[in-house]
């Protein structure tokens, strides 16, 4: 579907891994998300891009059962996120932006806790926790308190908590922010393998080059509305995604800039 066009209401979009219809949220006078529609095909690697304050985090929070929408709803594999929140959450792994972790636990304890909370058995949780710590280069840090982690380590341990139960749909808000290049490459290959095996990944990112290389689909959001959505090739329409993004969103300053900023 292009440009978030409206669809017939009433039908449950069961074919999509994640679908949202008419999703809206305002904070006081500020319209953060302005009635958006999106369809994320199952098995896709879906990028969500947009300028700062575009509404990406708000939209993803509403789509994953973390923030109640003013209007509209979301479905995960046909399950209404706001009618059957628990069932929808079982299918989801979420890396939320800025959500507090239980940071008085060690990394290993936090990941273990997430697995146990999902009802997984102890041995599987222990095995997967070690696997995750290893591929995310957190083996040593696993016995440190999360409160003492760097920003990148915190991002990686939060990602581990989103992966432990092998969800059908992963929703990751800026998963590469503050993460070093080697860990980022490891995370990219984990996510690509996962999508290759039928999982669905939705990532928000500001790195256009990464989205262009990594994602099969992309939606461009600005001022709470979807400006374009589809496969990456459809959206970039022969240009680079970065050029297309600037063209769609505008806002490049061409003036003199900060003439006083000099040595
Ligand atoms: N809890 C809140 N209270 C008030 N305003 C909010 C709140 N959360 C978000 N907003 C506002 O809603 C708008 C959308 O914010 P949101 O965090 O969804 O943007 P974003 O696209 O994720 O931005 P970024 O790329 O900078 O992370 C912004 O104008 C923001 O100031």
Q: Which of 24, 50, 56 to mutate to test the pocket of ligand 1 (most atoms within 8 A of CB)?
A: 56
Residue 98: per-residue pLDDT: 78
Residue 11: per-residue pLDDT: 67
Domain residue ranges in the chain:
14-91+169-183+197-248, 100-166
Whole-number Å distance, alpha carbon 103 to ligand 1 midpoint, is 24
Please name the CATH architecture into which domain 14-91+169-183+197-248 falls.
3-Layer(aba) Sandwich (3.40)
Index of the ligand 1 atom closest to the CA of residue 174? 27
Give Cα separations from 165 to 111, 138, 145, 148, 160 (angstroms): 10, 18, 22, 25, 10
Residues 70 and 252: their CA atoms lie apart, in Å, by: 32
Instruction: Output the tens digit of pLDDT for each of the chain's 263 residues.
Output: 444 444 444 567 778 999 999 999 999 999 999 999 999 999 999 999 999 999 999 999 999 999 999 999 999 999 999 999 999 999 999 999 877 899 999 999 999 999 999 999 999 999 999 999 999 999 999 999 999 999 999 999 999 999 999 999 999 999 998 889 988 998 898 999 899 889 999 999 999 999 999 999 999 999 999 999 999 999 999 999 999 999 999 877 766 678 888 77
> Is residue 249 within 6 Å of ligand 1 at its C-beta?
no
Residue nearest to atom 12 of ligand 1 (CA): 32
**Which residues lie across from 172 on neighbouring strands?**
95, 203
Q: Which of 15, 10, 41 is nearest to 219 (CA)?
A: 41
Residue 1: per-residue pLDDT: 42
Q: Which of 20, 32, 173 to mutate to test the pocket of ligand 1 (most atoms within 8 A of CB)?
A: 32
DSSP SS3 for 34 = strand
What ipTM was reported for this prediction?
Answer: 0.97
Residues 193 and 189: their CA atoms lie apart, in Å, by: 6
With beta carbons less than 8 A apart as the criterion, state whether 93 and 117 touch.
no
Residue 52: per-residue pLDDT: 93
14: how many CB neighbours lie within 10 A of its CB? 10
Residues 172 and 205: their CA atoms lie apart, in Å, by: 9
**Is the torsion defined by CA of 169, 166, 183, 147 positive or negative?**
positive
């Amino acid at each position: 579907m292009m440009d978030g066009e409206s669809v017939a209401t009433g039908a449950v979009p069961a074919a999509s891994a994640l679908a949202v219809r008419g999703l809206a949220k305002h904070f006081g006078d500020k319209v953060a998300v302005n009635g958006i529609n999106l369809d994320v095909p199952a098995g896709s690697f879906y990028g969500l891009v947009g300028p700062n304050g575009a509404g990406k985090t708000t939209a993803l929070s509403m789509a994953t059962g973390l923030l109640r929408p003013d209007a509209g709803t979301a479905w995960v594999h046909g399950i209404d996120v706001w009618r059957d929140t628990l069932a929808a959450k079982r299918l989801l792994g979420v890396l939320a932006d800025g959500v507090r972790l239980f940071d008085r636990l060690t990394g290993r304890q936090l990941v273990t806790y997430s697995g146990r909370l999902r009802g997984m058995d102890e041995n599987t949780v222990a095995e997967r926790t070690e696997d995750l710590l290893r591929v995310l280069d957190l083996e040593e840090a696993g016995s440190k308190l999360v409160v003492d982690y760097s920003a990148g380590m915190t991002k990686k341990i939060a990602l581990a908590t989103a992966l432990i139960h092998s969800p059908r749909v992963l929703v990751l808000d800026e998963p590469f922010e503050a993460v070093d290049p080697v860990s980022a490459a490891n995370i990219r290959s984990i996510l690509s393998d996962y999508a290759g095996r039928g999982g669905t990944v939705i990532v928000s990112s500001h790195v256009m080059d990464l989205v262009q290389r990594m994602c099969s689909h992309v939606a461009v959001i600005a001022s709470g509305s979807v400006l374009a959505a589809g496969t990456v090739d459809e959206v970039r329409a022969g240009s680079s995604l970065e050029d297309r993004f600037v063209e769609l969103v505008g806002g490049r300053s061409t003036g003199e800039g900060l003439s006083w900023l000099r040595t």
